[in-house]
């Protein structure tokens, strides 16, 4: 056990500053062109590299060991490096994207996925993951919806807590990771859905919707917090003392490390709040930011600032101590390699238990949006199936943030179906292109040309269409595997048009017109506008980007081996112009359905309903549940409990997992309250034909809400309580919260 204060006392100023600098892996490789290039570009000296405290996005037992070994040779005080990486929804065993995970309504499952992701990444030498992302999302134009668990603060808070617990569970035994919750704060609400754009949120909304998952992460012991790229009240989060000091440290008691998002310190110049790199360094550091990721601002700026008395040595020491403390917690002073070996990595990654969990999780995350004419499930032994579409035989179903996933290990839908359907009963063809224009990939070097050359020629296109129509006519069921290119969602992947591309829509319509039954299988990273296809197909399964076992999970569901239970954690808009659309909006003074104004002057669109196409909480299963007999205790006293009960009746002959959702509305309050707010949910296994009475408890704690100062207000009065299977179809009761 190293005494950190004693260590600190021995450190030179350069050594201290190094702990607050994070560089990426290329700085540590031997190839001269790599080391010279980035250093010159960033403008830092080799001495900084030698003293650096942490490394970004390098992984693999061999590589991390080698970098650590060389670093320790140069490090005068033998202070080990921290390896930090984006292990967002799996390291090698890739789970469904977070937005899909959100649809499982199972924090326990997400926790398990994080335990596994952390074990695999730790076995490969990582120490910290830049996860979970706790940003609430309401705008499907924003590409990073895929990294969030959805639009609801209650769900997100539970997921974030579970994720932090999962990632950090095995930290003490060297098999887990430290978690870094991100992006603090408000990053999920850029104006117009354009990534990195300005955020304008009221403090009331920040406290009510955006902050709670972060606070939950901290309460769960999260070791690090990453700042966001955007401004809050006009001040970039990376240099915002209100966020980093007043809230994080003083109010929430956070003792861990704060880190800037990628190059965000230098970006303070572009924001127009810093004159140059040194200025950026000063305002970020003085605002409470510990580590500068991927710029030279701290590396070159802290020393002269200290000499000029513009930052305090005490603050510098505190920040360095926080970094050293994490290194100690991770056991790096005892074993800088944390027991990592190539053999251990091989044993851990892709462990059959991990793959089993990935299959289970993907099965619980996909959402059935439509199932008419009993199209699904079908019997794979007797059904002639045509699998058509650009995702029919495509392993690219990981989504953008599966940084360490290996697509070669991913089973495609075709292969998974072949395992289930007898020879001769399955026809497969791509049918059409995924996209016709890959220009949006232009910034990724030659990628867009490569993709473009994969597009069908006019001749091939005509032939493919003929083949697809032919297969469709002969099949009992057509599965159309369509969607977004994986690079169309994720970071810097904002879009204004959320429809499937026109040629996909036309293709779906053409196939559906000749097919006996058509099932649309969707692979995408955000809610799409499906208004132009929904009436053409019999069934829709939202598979998201489902990860390494996604194809097997999908076949489990299609074939009836698994009864799906996923429920949307983000609304699917009816039209582009409706976005952002989310279930927990305020009523307004002129609500569309309960106002005595003439209809023209209500809060509504002239050309589109207010409601989304598929609401929050919605999803179908192979069983059906009917709710009845809602009972709500009429009176709640301080310290007391309201009991809500409802009868859930499985009216089908299939057993199924049902998600019952409890919503509240505060009828009169000092701040306008959302028409609905999720306050509880429970998943019950209902046997075929079974009825269960399900109970919820409401306490005064559930009735409080935040004001703009972040204080909780708890007010007496009338409340509505709702229980339903989704946010748009609810049984309703009411109760009074009274003083006596």
What are the residues binding ligand BGC (CB under 6 A)? 57, 86, 130, 182, 261-262, 491
Select from 38, 366, 307, 54 the least CA-distant residue to 180. 54
Non-local CB neighbours of 446 within 8 Å, separated by 6+ positions = none
β-bridge partners, 180: 224
Centre a 10 Å sphere on the Cβ of residue 253 and count the other Cβ atoms it contains: 10
With both helix axes pointing from N to C terminus, report the angle between 352-365 and 550-558 in degrees, rounded to the nearest 10: 50
Pick 399 or 573: Cβ nearer ligand BGC: 399
Tokens of 563: 């009864």
Q: What is the rounded CA–CA span in Å between residue 610 and residue 598? A: 17
Min separation Cβ 177 and ligand BGC, Å: 13
Min separation Cβ 612 and ligand BGC, Å: 27
Residue 219 bears catalytic tag = no
Adjacency order of strands within the sheet including 224-227: 257-259, 224-227, 178-184, 128-129, 82-85, 54-56, 21-24, 292-293
Min separation Cβ 293 and ligand BGC, Å: 7
Q: Are 636 and 700 in contact, with CB atoms under 8 Å apart? A: yes
User: In angstroms, how far is the first alpha carbon of the chain from the final one?
Assistant: 57
Helix (H, G, I), strand (E, B) or coil at 736: strand
Q: Tell me the pairing of strands 717-726 and 539-542.
A: unpaired
Pick 262 or 298: Cβ nearer ligand BGC: 262
Query: Among all chains, which residue has been given the structure tokens 């309580």?
Result: 721
Min separation Cβ 56 and ligand BGC, Å: 6
Min separation Cβ 270 and ligand BGC, Å: 15
Min separation Cβ 148 and ligand BGC, Å: 11
Can you list the pairs that 454-459 forms with residues at least 24 positions away whose Cβ atoms lie under 8 Å? 456/432
Min separation Cβ 57 and ligand BGC, Å: 6
Min separation Cβ 228 and ligand BGC, Å: 8
- Among residues 86, 261, 290, 702, the one annotated as catalytic is 261
Non-local CB neighbours of 10 within 8 Å, separated by 6+ positions = 77
Pick 57 or 361: Cβ nearer ligand BGC: 57
Min separation Cβ 265 and ligand BGC, Å: 13
> Which helix (H) or strand (E) is 293 found in, with range?
strand 292-293
Pick 261 or 345: Cβ nearer ligand BGC: 261
Non-local CB neighbours of 668 within 8 Å, separated by 6+ positions = 717, 718
Q: What share of the chain is helix, strand, coil (3-state, %, to 5)?
A: 35, 20, 45
Pick 188 or 430: Cβ nearer ligand BGC: 188
Pick 181 or 632: Cβ nearer ligand BGC: 181
Pick 145 or 426: Cβ nearer ligand BGC: 145
Pick 71 or 183: Cβ nearer ligand BGC: 183
Helices assigned H by DSSP within 638-681: none
Q: 116 phi and psi, to 5 degrees?
A: -65, -45
Q: What is the rounded CA–CA span in Å between residue 122 and residue 83? A: 10
Q: Are 349 and 124 in contact, with CB atoms under 8 Å apart? A: yes
Pick 105 or 229: Cβ nearer ligand BGC: 229
Tokens of 279: 């200025």
Pick 182 or 567: Cβ nearer ligand BGC: 182
Q: Which residue is nearest to ligand BGC (CB)?
A: 130
DSSP per-residue letters across 376-441: SS--TTT--EEEESTTTT----S-TT-TT--GGGPPPHHHHHHHHS-TTSEEEE--S-S-S--GGG
Q: Are 646 and 628 in contact, with CB atoms under 8 Å apart? A: yes
Min separation Cβ 86 and ligand BGC, Å: 5
Q: Tell me the pairing of strands 257-259 and 231-232.
A: unpaired
Catalytic residue ranges: 261
């Amino acid at each position: 056990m190293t005494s950190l204060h004693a260590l600190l006392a021995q450190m030179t100023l350069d050594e201290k500053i190094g702990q607050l600098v994070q560089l990426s892996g290329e700085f540590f490789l031997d190839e001269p062109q790599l080391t010279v290039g980035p250093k010159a570009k960033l403008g830092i000296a080799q001495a900084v590299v030698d003293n650096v405290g942490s490394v970004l996005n390098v992984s693999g037992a061999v590589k991390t060991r080698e970098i650590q070994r060389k670093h320790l040779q140069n490090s005068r005080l033998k202070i080990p490096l921290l390896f930090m990486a984006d292990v967002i929804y799996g390291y090698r065993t890739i789970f469904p994207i977070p937005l899909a995970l959100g649809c499982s309504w199972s924090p326990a499952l997400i926790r398990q996925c994080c335990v596994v992701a952390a074990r695999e990444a730790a076995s490969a030498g990582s120490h910290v993951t830049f996860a979970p992302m706790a940003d609430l999302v309401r705008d499907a134009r924003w590409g990073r919806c895929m990294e969030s668990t959805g639009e609801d603060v209650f769900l997100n808070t539970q997921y974030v807590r579970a994720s932090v617990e999962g990632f950090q569970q095995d930290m003490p035994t060297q098999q887990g990771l430290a978690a870094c919750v991100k992006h603090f704060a408000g990053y999920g609400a850029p104006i117009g859905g354009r990534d990195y754009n300005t955020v304008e949120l009221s403090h009331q909304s920040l406290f009510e919707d955006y902050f709670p998952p972060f606070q939950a992460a901290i309460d769960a012991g999260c070791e690090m917090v990453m700042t966001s790229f955007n401004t809050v009240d006009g001040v970039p989060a990376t240099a915002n003392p209100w966020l980093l000091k007043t809230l994080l440290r003083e109010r929430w008691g956070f003792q861990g490390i704060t880190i800037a998002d990628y190059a965000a310190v230098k970006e303070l110049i572009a924001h127009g709040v810093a004159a140059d790199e040194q200025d950026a360094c000063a305002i970020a550091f003085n605002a409470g930011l510990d580590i500068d990721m991927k710029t030279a601002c701290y590396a070159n700026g802290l020393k002269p600032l200290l000499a000029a008395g513009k930052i305090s040595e005490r603050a510098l020491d505190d920040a360095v101590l926080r970094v050293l403390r994490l290194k100690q917690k991770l056991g790096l002073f005892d074993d800088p390699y944390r027991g990592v070996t190539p053999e251990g990595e091989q044993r851990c990654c892709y462990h059959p238990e991990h793959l089993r969990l990935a299959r289970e999780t993907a099965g619980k995350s996909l959402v059935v949006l439509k199932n008419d004419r009993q199209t699904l499930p079908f019997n794979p032994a007797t059904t002639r199936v045509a699998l058509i579409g650009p995702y029919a035989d495509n392993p690219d179903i990981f989504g953008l943030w599966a940084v360490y996933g290996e697509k070669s290990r991913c089973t495609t839908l075709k292969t998974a179906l072949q395992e289930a359907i007898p020879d001769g009963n399955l026809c497969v063809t791509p049918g059409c292109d995924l996209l016709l224009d890959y220009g949006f990939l232009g910034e990724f070097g030659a990628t867009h040309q490569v993709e473009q050359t994969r597009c069908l020629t006019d001749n091939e296109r005509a032939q493919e269409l003929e083949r697809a129509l032919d297969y469709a006519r002969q099949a009992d069921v057509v599965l159309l595997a369509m969607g977004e290119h994986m690079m169309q969602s994720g970071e810097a992947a904002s879009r204004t048009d959320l429809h499937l591309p026109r040629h996909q829509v036309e293709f779906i319509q053409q196939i559906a017109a000749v097919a006996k039954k058509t099932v649309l299988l969707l692979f995408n990273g955000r809610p799409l506008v499906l208004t132009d296809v929904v009436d053409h197909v019999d069934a829709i399964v939202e598979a998201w980007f489902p990860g390494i076992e996604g194809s097997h999970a999908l076949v489990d569901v299609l074939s009836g081996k698994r009864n799906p239970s996923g429920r949307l954690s983000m609304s699917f808009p009816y039209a582009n112009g409706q976005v952002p659309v989310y279930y927990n909006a305020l009523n307004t003074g002129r609500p569309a359905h309960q106002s005595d104004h003439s209809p023209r002057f209500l809060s509504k669109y002239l050309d589109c309903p207010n409601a989304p196409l598929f609401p929050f909480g919605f999803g179908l299963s192979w069983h059906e549940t009917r709710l009845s007999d809602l009972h709500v205790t009429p009176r709640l006293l301080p310290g007391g409990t309201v009991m809500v009960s409802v009868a859930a009746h499985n009216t089908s002959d299939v057993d199924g997992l049902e998600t019952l959702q409890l919503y509240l509305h505060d009828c009169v309050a000092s701040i306008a309250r959302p028409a609905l707010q999720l306050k509880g949910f429970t998943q019950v296994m209902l046997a075929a034909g079974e009825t269960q009475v399900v109970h919820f408890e409401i306490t005064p704690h559930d009735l409080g809400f935040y004001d703009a100062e972040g204080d909780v207000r708890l007010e007496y009065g009338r409340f509505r309580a709702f229980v339903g299977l989704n946010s748009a179809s609810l049984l309703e009761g009411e109760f009074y919260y009274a003083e006596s």
